[in-house]
Amino acid sequence: MDRLPAALERAGNEESWAVADAISTVLKNSEELHSWRRRLLSACIKGLVAMYSSSKDESKQEVERSMLLRLEELL
């Protein structure tokens, strides 16, 4: 759980996001959920910054769209 947010910062990590979503579900009624979601939000923003800083490859638009939707959900 501690290393997962760093892995989420890399593009194309949908499997890792699926694990993060599962952890969020488990923490649903926990005091840790707010802290966990803040870590996910940070990872999401860092991932988006890295994507936008790299080349504007049109094949990455779907990944960007997915990350933007996730960002909206976390906010």
Question: Over the stretch 26-55, which tens digit does the pLDDT of each residue have?
Answer: 999 999 999 999 999 999 898 888 877 776
pTM: 0.77
Give the model's pLDDT for residue 24.
Answer: 92
What is 12-74 written as a DSSP string? T-HHHHHHHHHHHHHTTTSTTHHHHHHHHHHHHHHHHHHHHHS---GGGHHHHHHHHHHHHHH
Give the model's pLDDT for residue 33.
Answer: 93
Give the model's pLDDT for residue 48.
Answer: 85
Domain boundaries, the chain: 3-74
Give the model's pLDDT for residue 11.
Answer: 60
